[in-house]
Structures are given as C-alpha cells and as structure tokens.
Chain A
Amino acid sequence: MTSETSPPIDPQAWGELLALGGEDAGVMIEELVTMYLEDGEALLQAIRQHQAAGDAKALGRSAHALRSPSATLGALRLAELCQQVELACGHQPEGTAAQIPIEAVVKEGQRVISALQQRLDHP
C-alpha cells in the first residue's frame, strides 16, 4: 500500500530491477526506461482523452496498460492509482467516464516520468 508521500520510484523494487540486470544493469535500465517513457507519455495522453470523451472502457484499458509496466519499474504508487481507475472503469456505465477522477494518476504519472528521466540522465 502506498500513500501520497511515497517516493515515485520504490527503492526496493528498483533495487530488484538492478539486480536483474546484473553486470549489464545500466544498459538494461536504459532500454526499459526509454521504452517506458515513450509508452508512458502516450498512455497519460490517452487517459486524458478517454476521460474527456466519457469512454469508460477505453479509459480502463489505458489505465491497465499504464499500471503493469509502472509496477515493474518500481512506480508502485502510480500502479496503485492506475488500478483504482481501472477498477472504477469496470463499474462505470458507458459514457460516464468523465466522472472518474484522473488528476491523481496524471500528476503521479508526471512525477514518475521526471524521476525516471533523471535516472536516465544521471545513472
């Protein structure tokens, strides 16, 4: 369980990721983070659009698509927020997605992206 004060990237999870890379951790991290930054930006954009359009199904899919890799890269708080949105979309009647709050996801998403960008620039 994370809270508002949790760091954007969980240190323990990040440590495990590094351990996965072993000697070539640097290269692996670069590859994964680059992929994530590309996908992440696009998904946050999609989340905003789908919410504005009231498309609960598409919003849920985007939230799910963002949650999975976020957890993998240690962005546990973001993953949790995405899951909340995903679950809310599951219960939402069509066309009412506009009521689902996504500000938290968007904000945290930006934090995570900045944090990862930093690690990329200063490994």
Chain B
Amino acid sequence: MSQAALNDQLRSTLGRLDAALSCVEDALALTNNDGIVEWTNRAFDHLVDRPRLASLGRPLPVLLPSRFINGRPDERDDLIARAVNGAGCSRWDLSSIKPRRVLEVTWSPVLVKPTPSLVFVFRDLSAITKVQDELRWARDNLEQEVQSRTEELLQARDQALAAQGAMGRFLANVSHEIRTPMNAVIGMTDLLLGTALDGHQSELVDTIHTSGELLLELINNILDLSKIQSEEILLSTERLSLRSLVEECCGMLRPLASGKGLTFEALVDPEVPELILGDDMRLRQVVLNLLNNAIKFTQRGFVRLSVRITSRPDGSPRLEIEVEDSGPGIASDFLPHIFEAYTQADGASRQVQGSGLGLSICHRLCHLMGGSIEVSSRLGEGTRLRVELPLRPSLPLEAPPKAMEPGDGAPGWPKGGAAPTGGALDQPPRILVAEDNRINQRVLELLLNQLGLSADFVDDGQAAIERVGRGDIDLVLMDLQMPSIDGLEATHSVRRRSGPQPYIVALTALAFADQKQACLDAGMNDFLSKPVRRRDLEATLGRYDLWLRSQRSGGDPQTSSAIH
C-alpha cells in the first residue's frame, strides 16, 4: 500500500475511534508520561467543562475538579506519579457536603513503542452512591422506626388499660354512692305503700317502687359486669346446700311467675349431693338470672328449673342446671349473640325491660366457675338454657359414725370398701411433711395417723426438694419458714423440675394476704394455718381429693388452686 493510502486509512481509523470514544459515557483522557493531555473525549470535556483545545497541552491534574477527603480538601497531587508506576484506580469525593458526588478514576500506563504514555478513565458514581447511601440510611433507621413504633403502641395500650382500670375503679367507688339513694327510694316507697293510700296513689307509688327496683337491678348488673370484665371477681369456696339455694331462689321468684299466671316447677334429682363446694353468692346469681329471664320473657305457659348430675364422655361427673320456658323463643340469627353484653333481640326490648346484661354475666360466671352455658331455642317454641359446672361434692364436717369402727382405719381412707363420702380414691396419698420443728412434726404425725394416713418427714427445704425429686410423693405439707432453703424457695424449685408434680400445701403461722399471693405465685395449691387443727387438715385433704379427681378426668384449670 502506498504512503498516501496508509495515511488515509490511519486518518479514517483515528476518526472512527475518536467518534466511538466520544459516545462513551465515561470520561477519557490520554496524556504523555508527564501527564500533559494529548487527547480527550467528549465526556471528559464535559467533566472539566472546557473544550478539548483548552485541555490539550495542559497538565491533567490542573484540569481536574478539586476533591475532598473526609470533608476536607484533598491536596495530594500524586496522580501522574502513581499512573506511571502502574495501573490502578481510586475514588474521589468531589463535594465536601451533600449531595455526594463521587468519581471513580482508573488509570494505566500505555506501553506502546516507542513512547510510553498514560490513559485515564473517569466514571461518575454519584447516582449509584446516592442510592447506596439512601439504602444504608433506610436500613439503619428501620430498626429505630420499628422500635419507636412499638413504644408508641405499648404506650397506647397501657393508656387504654389504665383507662379501663380507671373506669372499673370509678364504678366500684361510685357504686356505693349510687346504691345508697336507690335503696332509700325503694325503702321509702315501701313505707309509703304501708300507709293509707287511695287506689290512684297506690298505683303511682307502685310504679315508683317497680321503677326503683328495676333501676337498682340495672345498676347492679352494670357494676357486676364491669367487675367481671376487669376480672376482679374472685370466687370463694364454701360448703353450700344446693337444695336450699334452689328453694330460696324459687321462693323469691315464684310470686312473680304466679302473678303472670305461669306454672313454675323446680326439680332437683335425688342423686344430686346435698352439700357441694362452690361460691354460694355467684351460683345463686346465675340461677336467679336464668329464672328471672325466663319469667320475664314468658307470657303464658311454664318455667321449669331442673338440677341433675350428668357425666362427661370421660366419666367425670358434672352438675347440670337447666331452665326451660314456654316463651316466644329466640330467632336463630340472634342465638349466637345471646351471651354478649348489652344486646337484646329486636322486639323483645320493647315488651320487656332489661339491660341485656343478665345472660352475659351468667356466661362469664359459668366460665369463671370452670363450666359452660348453652342455649337452645326456636322462635315460637320456647327456650332452654343449660348450665354445666364441675361437681365438687363436699366432705361432711364429721364423718358418719359407721366409719369410726375400730380397726377400720379412719374416715377418708378406710382400709376397705368405699368411703362414706362416696368418692374415695383407691389408695391413700403418699405424703411428705417439710417442717423444721420436731414437736410440730410429731403433732402432724399424730393428726395424720388419726386420719389413717402416714407421711415422710424432712426438716429443711433442700431435703424436701430431694425427696420430691424421687418422684413418689403425691402431697407435700410445706412449712414456709425453714432455715436455709425455705418453703417458698423449695416450692419454686420443685415446680421448675420436669416430672410428676405433687400437690403442695403451705404451712405457716402468719397469714397475711401478700404471703398468700407469694404462695400462689410459687405454685402452691393450698394453705394451712399453724398450729394445724384437725378440721382444717381434713378440709385441706378434701380439697386435695377433689383436685386429684378433676386432674384425673382431664384437668380443670379452675380447680387447680384452692386458694381464692
């Protein structure tokens, strides 16, 4: 090829390379080995903000924008020296303040004969850097945001709880203020009714009296529900006569029923035990509520109360209280809401006055007692409400004489046959007594012997823990105040272990309320005051018996602690 043709080709190639490199986004600069600029592309001209001609022949470092390091100007001027030494790259901050402008610089010597030269490539990373920075900030802040959001929620929740608590306390405080004048109104109208009134006046006073009673009932219900809802109701455990309770409730409401011309029946099955353990007041409340409702809503026909024993599929006995009426019944779309507070079926509220709270209270109380309440009803076919409660028969105070025959052992766990109470365990419990005083130990031993029982004795908490650890103790009488490891600590220890858990009764000479709470918190089941009396020990063993049977028939969380 001739020289002219070669030159043409060269010129053409150079032109095309120049054009190509000028399309590239990255800024390029070619310099000689001393860093004097010999060629630039369009992006470079843009970067340094001057036309190519103004860059050619100038030292490269002079043209470049000033850079910063850690927010302060970077005065280093070793770019060319480094480039001569070999390929490399660096990142420069072109701005000391936000927004960040980052330039990536790559360089390389060009070892082409005869003259070495240098090439520099500049890439703007500002956009990517900005995004990266934002991501990092968002990530760091997310945790903080979540935490502050959680705190806000917790605060809101606590405020809501406090408000609820405040309302409950307000209602409790105000209840006396409300009830007193109400009682006065009712009382005064009673007195008025006893004076000489003409027919018209009598009617008026009657209305005042009825309204007063309704109002009082309403107030009581609201206060009760608030107490139940804030879970301040504690059930007591006492002996009560179911038959007497039923008779008294019926006595109170029979006049109301006959006044409306309704037939009123109460049937208690003979196999229902005479004495049971429970909360007399609350049980009475449930029965009265159900009967009252039935009578209120029934205009003709009957109201029937039945009390019987049923058994669960696993064989455990339950107490069933059923109230049936021949009233208008309940619509099927309302049935699911019947136990909700402050609701009454449409149409019913106009005919019958009430607060819509009675059944809701019943429902809560039944559940508190470890039972349930069900409704079955159809419009026009009457209503049936069925309460099912755990059966807790009470041991009588004195065992019937026939169990005291010599050689027969003692009441509770006689050596042969069923116990007179009609619900004995098959074998006596294995008892451990943890008590550090030898006299008290001896007395307990004598007491237990009288009841036909025997026990192992230890005199400190550590020994108690170890003995229980062997896994063959059913019932522990645990003195609270023992040296070194005391009763509470030993109980904590026993409860923490895996394996079968014994029933633990606290023995203590002091009986303050906060001590009872500490016992409950430690996981103790019951409480005996020292010096121990025989009847208290019997009652405790009776409660243990019931607990054991409810455990065996599937466990009933409500009865797991006898401390109320």
Contact = CB atoms under 8 A, between A and B. Distances in A.
A50 interface: no
Interface residues of B, number: 17
Interface in B423-442: 436-440, 442
A69 B446 CA distance: 15
B36 to A, nearest CB: 90
A65 to B, nearest CB: 7
A20 B439 contact: no
Nearest to A65: B437
Given A20-B450, A21-B446, A64-B481, A35 B439 contact: yes
B446 A35 contact: no
A72 B439 contact: yes
Given A31-B442, A39-B439, A73-B439, A13 B531 contact: yes
A114 to B, nearest CB: 18
A64 B533 CA distance: 20
Interface of B: 436-440, 442-443, 446-447, 450, 481, 483, 509, 530-531, 533-534
Contacts of B509: 67-68, 71, 79, 83
Contacts of A64: 481
A48 interface: no
Nearest to A35: B439
6 contacts: A20-B534, A28-B446, A35-B438, A68-B439, A72-B443, A73-B439
Interface of A: 13, 16-17, 19-22, 28, 31-32, 35-36, 39, 61, 64-65, 67-69, 71-73, 79, 83
B450 A39 contact: no
A69 B437 contact: yes
A67 B533 CA distance: 17
B499 to A, nearest CB: 31
A17 B437 CA distance: 17
Contacts of A20: 443, 446-447, 450, 534
A68 B442 contact: no
Contacts of B439: 32, 35-36, 39, 68-69, 72-73
B531 A71 contact: yes
A15 B447 CA distance: 15
A72 B446 contact: no
A40 B105 CA distance: 96
A79 B439 CA distance: 14
A72 B440 contact: yes
Contacts of B483: 61
